[in-house]
Amino acid sequence: MERKQISDGVYLTVLPAEQFHRCRISINFIWPATREWATAEALMPLLMERCCADCPDMTLLSKKLARLYGASLSVDGVVNSGSRVLTVAVGGIKDEFALNGEQLSSEYATLALATAFRPYFVNGVFDPEAVEIEKEQLRELIAGEVNEKRGYCIRQARRKFFGDSAAGVERYGYAQEVNGLSSEQVTKAFFRMLCTARIEVMVLGADAAAVEQSVKQALVGLERKPDALPQAFARPAQSEQSFEEPMDTAQGKLCLLFTSGQPQSPEQLSAARVAVALLGGTATSRLFVNVREKRSLCYYCAASYASMMGMLCIDSGVEHQNASAAKKAILEELDALKNGPITEKELNDTKRSLKNQLAAVTDTLQGMENWYFGEILRASLLSPQQVMEQVDAVTKEDVQNVLRTFTLSVSYTLTKGENAHV
């Protein structure tokens, strides 16, 4: 991996991708998430993906991508640890596979940068007609989140967990604000992003020099003052808050969120990876073997970890009448791992599974990009191979020390219970 700063708040990361026939260029804008701008910022990716100044309608953009041997363009936005992230990505075949010697890397970079920096405007603002169309799409995204019950339960728990903090800002904004959005508001949000965001350009398999030159040209004349990004933080430990939401479904959902009270340091991260995998991240984990297989208290039970927020998530699909028993069993397994014996076999099995997952990171361009982008945000910049070595060195005591930092903060259940409350 090669990484350098090319302007104030603008960085270029080049990842080797010799094993692939395709390449990928992504432009990632990162800036502090705020409640005030959330809904306008949520609408931006939908508008930017439609067209740009160089291809001012969807038909022209589709033809452009087809001429580039079926290249792909995507624009997506998320909220990550208190930051809003908007990603413009273009992918396609590498230059050497072009039939007529076209410089595809330059074409990809030009298209990505036009999408990122020069959207299609009408009289200086986003096209009002397009804004109205995409507002309807945004309303559908917000309303449709309840359709996937597992993700909905986790999001509801996170809303209680993060409250009014920046990490709790909604990815898709707020339904009550969508109707009132204007082209002018979304345009202001766009230029605010251009001027204040940190920009991370990632190049995988494309001509890095061509991309760098294109980025520098796109920045000419742009007055930027990048904001500092939020520091890693964790919710302080406190008494559990328990919530139930009535939902007439065949299967109930349970989500438990724990806090470590402080973000894990980079030195603790590999131990946390092993600990969470041992708890509920593999087919040999305690939760899978004991809660699901032996006790038949759930359909699935999995653990995941957000290192920058010090948050452990355990979520499960359960029969409605088994929700309390499943929660009790999950907490018992966590306590047993914190304070009881851990066999060499289960520790080694967990490490092997983790290392297999790490080895698979380089199997896809998207996997490589996701890994190193996460490392950039953590200011860690470790390769999967380096993390494998750290995983090998994790001891039983390391696992227990990490798990002992977690306390239950929020439990959220989707249930048929008549006395459910939120």
Residues 301 and 152 in one domain: no
pLDDT at 314 over 60: yes
Residues 169 and 257 in one domain: no
Residues 314 and 200 in one domain: no
The answer to whether residue 392 sits within a structural domain is yes
35-44, pLDDT tens digit by residue?
Answer: 999 999 999 9
Please write down the HEC assignment for all residues of the chain.
CEEEEEECCEEEEEECCCCCCEEEEEEEEEEECCCCCHHHHHHHHHHHCCCECCCCCHHHHHHHHHHCCCCEEEEEEEEECCEEEEEEEEEEECHHHCCCCCCHHHHHHHHHHHHHHCECEECCEECHHHHHHHHHHHHHHHHHHHHCHHHHHHHHHHHHHHCCCHHHCCCCCCHHHHCCCCHHHHHHHHHHHHHHCEEEEEEECCCHHHHHHHHHHHHCCCCCCCCCCCCCCCCCCCCCEEEEEECCCCCEEEEEEEECCCCCCHHHHHHHHHHHHHHHCCCCCHHHHHHHHHCCCCCEEEEEEEHHHCEEEEEEEECHHHHHHHHHHHHHHHHHHHHCCCCHHHHHHHHHHHHHHHHHHHHCHHHHHHHHHHHHHHCCCCCHHHHHHHHHHCCHHHHHHHHCCCEEEEEEEEECCCCCCC
Residues 212 and 336 in one domain: no
pLDDT at 419: 44
Q: Where residue 191 sits, what CATH number does that domain have?
A: 3.30.830.10
pLDDT > 70 in the chain, percent: 99
Residues 367 and 262 in one domain: yes
pLDDT > 90 in the chain, percent: 92
Residues 121 and 23 in one domain: yes
Across residues 292-307, what is the average pLDDT?
A: 96
Residues 133 and 253 in one domain: no
pLDDT at 418: 56
Residues 273 and 371 in one domain: yes
The answer to whether residue 369 sits within a structural domain is yes
- Range(s) of the domain holding residue 300: 241-415
Residues 127 and 195 in one domain: yes
* Domain tally, the chain: 2
Residues 181 and 265 in one domain: no
Residues 202 and 248 in one domain: no
pTM over 0.85: yes
The answer to whether residue 224 sits within a structural domain is no
The answer to whether residue 42 sits within a structural domain is yes
The answer to whether residue 227 sits within a structural domain is no
pLDDT at 221 over 70: yes
The answer to whether residue 408 sits within a structural domain is yes
The answer to whether residue 226 sits within a structural domain is no
The answer to whether residue 114 sits within a structural domain is yes
Residues 207 and 256 in one domain: no
331-386, pLDDT tens digit by residue?
Answer: 999 999 999 999 999 999 999 999 999 999 999 999 999 999 999 998 889 999 99
